[in-house]
Amino acid sequence: MSSIEKPSSTEKRFDITSVEEDYEASIRTNSGHGQCSSFMAYWNVVCVVAGTGTLGLPYALRQGGWFGLFILFLSWSMSIYTGIILVKCLYAKPGHRMSTFKEISTTCFGKVGGWVTFFFLAWILLGAPTLYMVLAGQNLSQLCHGTVAELNGTYWTIIMCVVIGIPFVLVKSMKEVAWMSAFGSVATVVVVLIVLIMACMDEKAQMAKGVVHDGVIWPQFPAALATISFSFGGNVIYPHVEASMARPKQWPWVIGAGLSTCAFLYILCAVPGYYIYGRDTTSPIYNNLPAGVGQTIAIVLITLHVLMAAPLLTTSLSLDLEDMFNITVERFGKWKEFFIRACLRIAIIVIVAIIACFVPYFSLLMGLIGSFSNCVLIFVFPVLYYFKLTGFRNKPIYEIAWCFLTIVLGIVGLIFGTRDAILGLIDATQHK
């Protein structure tokens, strides 16, 4: 039996004091940390978290009504809290800083726990690129409509999969092109501003038609939660961002500022989007905008963004699989290793293409990914790790209540959000 399950009298217990002590000791010595400034760490959080989730938030308000803003606030505050405690859990092993989400899970719940976590991580790393290919295919089909390049969304989806598949297969690691994430955050800001300005310009015309809003729509509350949780999905990369910091003690401020910036962008897009279009709000939101230069710029920027982001996600999944199956040059040699790695990556991109072609529903896919994986990885697992590693009775009652509420929110999103997304996909497929 491991020391976590039954520590001996001579071993150091995993409690909140030991975690804090090891965290402080590592900070003082800067052991295992890089030289990245806190501002750059903040920028990394914004780059990773702020993205295509923005496009679905006005639709999330349509699903849940204005009550969705309260859910957005809850998700924002809970995401900050779980991001902080997740990093604290990295220091639960005396003298050793864990490096990944999966390693924490394995430490807490053994190999089975590690594999369960990997399953949910793989769901995101495979599901998000699929979502991106659906969006890119739909965008290209819309942009090229009426031109010599006019094709339906399925053909454009296949073409986009080939486009991202080339660098994915040929480049082993894409760390040297981290500027892609920076472009994504800039594109998100520009698109939010376009939506804000053009929606406000369209307000008079929409109000003349009679816009209808809802205060709260309880049956669609889990679906709204799933979309909102997708927009705060960044826990997977937080250990890596914190490890790069020269001053890791500032991590709570970094995660707080980063997610607050994202929440501000989300509100700028969601509130005017739902207020002006009401029950007619679509996902992605730029499809509600009047046709013209602004809408075209928004579509082009988001398309470029997803084409740059998708290879980063598929590469992360492939590297994890290659590590698990020990696909290395030392084991197979240079050319055999490349051949095996290329076959694995081609298989991944083919799976992405097949799913994207047969399930071309952006909003439903976003809800499924958000409810089935992000709700667990953001709201449930970090709290369970924290209690497992640091104990339960040594915490104030308000923190326990907050943790309990966080888990409940995650479970509600997981169960009911997944059910609604699957039923929606079945219905959409049958009436295709």
What is the reported pLDDT for 256? 96
Residue at 67 is within a domain: yes
Residue at 162 is within a domain: no
Residue at 235 is within a domain: yes
What is the reported pLDDT for 175? 57
DSSP output for 148-187: TT---HHHHHHHHHHHHHHHHHH-S--GGGTHHHHHHHHH
Average pLDDT over residues 81-99: 87
* Between residues 345 and 52, the one the model is more confident about: 345
Average pLDDT over residues 86-99: 84
User: Partners of 104 in the beta sheet?
Assistant: none
pLDDT, tens digit (0-9, with 9 covering 90-100), for 378-427: 999 999 999 999 888 888 999 999 999 999 999 998 998 898 888 888 88
Neighbours of 15 (CB within 10 A): 16
* Between residues 2 and 58, the one the model is more confident about: 58
Residue at 148 is within a domain: no
**Model confidence at 5, in pLDDT bands (50, 70, 90)?**
very low
**Model confidence at 324, in pLDDT bands (50, 70, 90)?**
confident
Average pLDDT over residues 32-49: 81
What is the reported pLDDT for 432? 63
Are the C-beta atoms of 69 and 54 separated by less than 8 Å?
no
Residue at 88 is within a domain: yes
Q: Mean pLDDT, the chain, as a whole number?
A: 86
Contacts 24+ apart (CB under 8 A), 187-190: 187/301, 187/302, 187/304, 187/305, 188/50, 188/51, 188/54, 188/265, 188/305, 189/50, 189/265, 190/297, 190/298, 190/301
CA-nearest of 273, 123, 276, 257 to 203 is 276
% residues pLDDT > 90 (the chain): 47
Domain that holds residue 419: 16-109+175-302+361-430
DSSP output for 295-322: HHHHHHHHHHHHHHHHHHHHHHHHHHHH
Q: Looking at 108-112, 169-173, 305-309, which range is the least confident one?
A: 169-173
pLDDT, tens digit (0-9, with 9 covering 90-100), for 99-113: 888 889 999 999 999
Sign of the alpha-carbon torsion through 350, 352, 358, 360:
negative
**Model confidence at 11, in pLDDT bands (50, 70, 90)?**
very low
Residue at 271 is within a domain: yes
Are the C-beta atoms of 60 and 228 separated by less than 8 Å?
yes
**Model confidence at 359, in pLDDT bands (50, 70, 90)?**
confident
What is the reported pLDDT for 294? 92
Question: Tokens at residue 395, please?
Answer: 């915490």
**Model confidence at 317, in pLDDT bands (50, 70, 90)?**
confident
What is the reported pLDDT for 7? 43
Average pLDDT over residues 251-280: 94
Does the structure show a pLDDT above 80 at 139? yes
Does the structure show a pLDDT above 80 at 52? no
Question: Tokens at residue 335, please?
Answer: 């050319």
Residue at 230 is within a domain: yes
Give the count of domains, the chain.
Answer: 1
Does the structure show a pLDDT above 50 at 1? no
Residue at 337 is within a domain: no
